Structure 1
Amino acid sequence: MSDPHRHLTVKGPARHGIEIKKSRFVCSLARVADEEEAQAFIAAVRKEFWDARHNCTAFVVGDEQRRERSSDDGEPAGTAGVPMLEVLRRRGLTDTAAVVSRWFGGVLLGAGGLVRAYGSAVSETLDLAGVVELRPVALLAVTADHVRAGRLENDLRAAGHAVRDVSYGAAGVRIEVGVPESGTAAFHAWLAEATGGTASAVETGRTRIEADAD
């Protein structure tokens, strides 16, 4: 069973097709930030594949309060959108939208065949796309003088800290670092020891960073 506290999403956009009894099923996947982005992605695929008999959809967005939607787009109720959504649920994904476009090949698949076809199209495309975990981090702005900045940046990277940005100004150098939310106190202690107290860090916000899903 997937962990509802983990924020898993598709690594990037992907597209993959399968053929079953002369019907062609093409799944398009994308990472989306919210429902508006999901609907815009769905609209774009429907426009691209206007000649498909069906463009069935499913998406999950949000964190703790996840929002789910699916559409059979003319297929028998429960045979397309729901099995697509179930694949996203089983994988524990959020912020992910899927569209499966079908070109009918003249052979009826039956309810069970449709469920398997739509579910398989999404599942196979997810396998190709890959999944990442978006882990919450605190953003810390580390400031140092120009003399120490280069070595400090190297030390930060060597210690495994996520350096996100480095900017140079007249007053000094600002290095933005992403630190796991539970590790900010330890980071401040590390920074003080590594720099002999000559550098400081101020929290500037929160974000999520990609990490390979275990």
Structure 2
Amino acid sequence: MTDEPGTTDEPYRTVAGRGEARFEVRGSEFIGHVAPARTVEDAESFVESVRAEYDDATHNVPAYRVRADPFREWASDDGEPSGSAGDPALNVLQQEDVENVVAVVTRYYGGTNLGVGGLARSYSRAVKDGLDAAGTTTERPHETFSVTVAYDDSGTVRGILESEGVEFDADYAERVAFDVRVPVADGAALRDRIRSATSGRADIE
């Protein structure tokens, strides 16, 4: 077990939902957008959606930290001077120790140059204010697996999943397939309980 972010079963801090914050600095408008992202794909699709919504903005600066394997963190200056935008935005996510999070800062240029220091402060503030608006929460790492059973066993499996309070979707076809999302720490015990209750008839992947 390493101390790299995203590689343990330990709880981690993330955002509770989406957040947005706006302010002006010497005529330039900054809008900080923050959202949860479980995967790199989630993060990149959020970045694209903000860029599409604010396609008339001067800059849309993205940064994200995602508990992928390996752990991924990324940022871009999106045309701002090197080191003045993406790195300060990412730095806030690192300092706040939040993971599975994506931020995009939209800037409408107001006619006055802010300088690298002024830009860095503004992009940092936009992410920090966006995080404050979103709120943070502690999550436990989750895993997903599927359970496929005959109809005779479906009530038993559904009852176990409901009693454990885990997230799942059920698909009733020729057999019944449950897609289960469970905290990593609880996954093995839950699979064992399902196997035992169905006398090994459940197909678990």
Q: In the alignment, which residue of structure 1 is the partner of 2:190?
A: 187
Seen in structure 2, the aligned counterparts of structure 1 residues 173 and 120 have a Cα distance that, compared at 3 Å, is same
Report if the CA contact (8 A) 1:27-1:121 is conserved: yes
Equivalent positions of 1:119-198 (< 5 A) are 119-131=124-136, 133=139, 135-141=141-147, 143=149, 145-146=151-152, 149-150=154-155, 153-158=158-163, 160-169=164-173, 173-191=176-194, 195=197
C-alpha distance 186-20 of structure 1, shift in aligned 2 (>3 A)? same
Q: Deviations over 1:90-117 (max 9, x none)?
A: 3444554432122233455444332221
CA contact (8 A) 1:140 1:179 kept: no
CA distance in 2, matches of 1:187, 1:72: 45
**Equivalent pair of 1:35/1:61 in contact (CA under 8 Å):** no
Which deviates more from structure 2 when the two are superposed, residues 7-16 or residues 44-53?
Answer: 7-16
1:45·1:99 contact (CA, 8 Å) conserved in 2?
Answer: yes
TM-score (norm 2): 0.68
1:4 offset after TM fit, Å?
0.8
1:139 match: secondary structure: strand
Indicate the percent of aligned positions where both proteins have the same amino acid. Answer: 34
| Structure 1 residues without counterparts, runs of 5 or longer | 205-214
Give the structure with higher Rg (CA). 1
Q: CA deviation at 1:84?
A: 0.3
Larger strand fraction of residues:
1
The alpha carbon displacement at 1:68 in A equals 3.5
Q: Which amino acid aligns with 1:114?
A: L
Task: Answer with 149-158 or 22-31: which moved more.
Answer: 149-158
Q: State the TM-score, normalizing by the size of structure 1.
A: 0.66
Alignment-derived partner of residue 202 in structure 1: 203
**Unaligned stretches of 5+ residues in structure 2:** none
Moved more, 55-64 or 28-37: 28-37
